[in-house]
Amino acid sequence: MQQTTKRLNNSNILAVEDDEVAMSFLEAQIEDLGQTVIKASNGQDAVDILKTRYNEIDVIVMDRKMPIMDGLSAVKHIKADPFLKNIPIIMVTGADSQSEIKEGLESGVYYYLTKPTKPEMLKSVLYAAIREADRTRLLLEELSKHKASFGLISEVGFTYKTLDEACNLTAFIANCYPDPERVITGIGELLVNAVEHGNAGIGYEQKTHLLKEGLWQDEIQKRLAKPDISKKQVEVTLRKAHDSIVLIVKDEGSGFNWQDYLSFDPSRATDSHGRGIAHANLLCFDMLEYNEEGNVAIAKCNVD
């Protein structure tokens, strides 16, 4: 599977806002970025639209405080629906306290913007959400191609070097789990992180800049082609027991301060990235930890 991204324009964005003036402003900002806007006036309206048009919607941009059904209540409905749960949600609101941002993040809102929304910030976060939607869609499509007798596997090992190999391997490994859709984005996060942050050595601030300039994937490929990096690889081990499945991902990088990323940090809520490990920890696996250096990830899922 190619690690490609959908065009960053002409995506369908569901904008949910009860204030007509605010909706006009938000609609204009989104359309200026080359996107198509589908409008909803409150959370219930959004849920009703999603039930019939879920295949059309790429990203949801939603106000928090609305009549009839507020933003967080709508999020709970969306995340409980198997057809809707993978659509990225951006919460745009005047609520900017740390506790409210954390509440939004833990409800499944990985992108959180405060009013008044600056065009450059909306652009950064919206593009990040579109990339996430496309990556998840590609992973789920790949998942359906790798059906086999994975239940017979007790232990298996892999090595890989590139982003494309990481994405192909993600779908294969996910099918070894009883609920592949639950774990696939978490597995993908660990395998991609091992390449970009581990072996390629791209740091947090560097990634922020590269995403803003649209150079993230090109920079990884350039670094992986360097003589001192080209020989590095990632080792993956999958072990199945009667009551658990353990995934071990080891890269050849210098590691990172992983403790800062296991939970959602409200201070990074408006960043264009930095939520993947927390997402994997809280939603995909029953346990996620690293070795002291941070270059070996150990993810565990309990099974019945």
- What per-residue confidence (pLDDT) applies to 226? 96
Domains of the chain by range and CATH? 12-139 (3.40.50.2300), 144-302 (3.30.565.10)
Q: Secondary structure of the chain in the HEC alphabet?
A: CCCCCCCCCCCEEEEECCCHHHHHHHHHHHHHCCCEEEEECCHHHHHHHHHHHCCCCCEEEEECCCCCCCHHHHHHHHHHCCCCCCCCEEEEECCCCHHHHHHHHHCCCCEEEECCCCHHHHHHHHHHHHHHHHHHHHHHHHHCCCCCCHHHCCEEEEEECCHHHHHHHHHHHHCCCCCHHHHHHHHHHHHHHHHHHHHCCCCHHHHHHHHHHCCHHHHHHHHHCCHHHHCCCEEEEEEECCCEEEEEEECCCCCCCHHHHCCCCHHHCCCCCCCHHHHHHHHHCCEEEECCCCCEEEEEEECC
- What per-residue confidence (pLDDT) applies to 7? 56
| pLDDT tens-digit series, residues 237-278 | 999 988 999 999 999 999 998 998 998 777 777 777 888 898
Q: Which of 49, 43, 41, 38 is nearest to 21 (CA)?
A: 41
Mean pLDDT by 10 residues, the chain (304 residues): 56 95 93 95 96 93 92 92 91 72 77 82 88 86 65 85 92 89 93 96 92 89 95 96 95 92 79 84 93 96 89
| pLDDT tens-digit series, residues 146-189 | 665 566 677 899 999 999 999 889 988 998 898 888 999 999 99
pTM of the predicted structure, to 2 decimals: 0.76
Counting every residue written for the chain, the total comes to: 304
- What per-residue confidence (pLDDT) applies to 148? 57
The whole-angstrom separation of Cα 233 and Cα 87 is: 32
- What per-residue confidence (pLDDT) applies to 1? 45
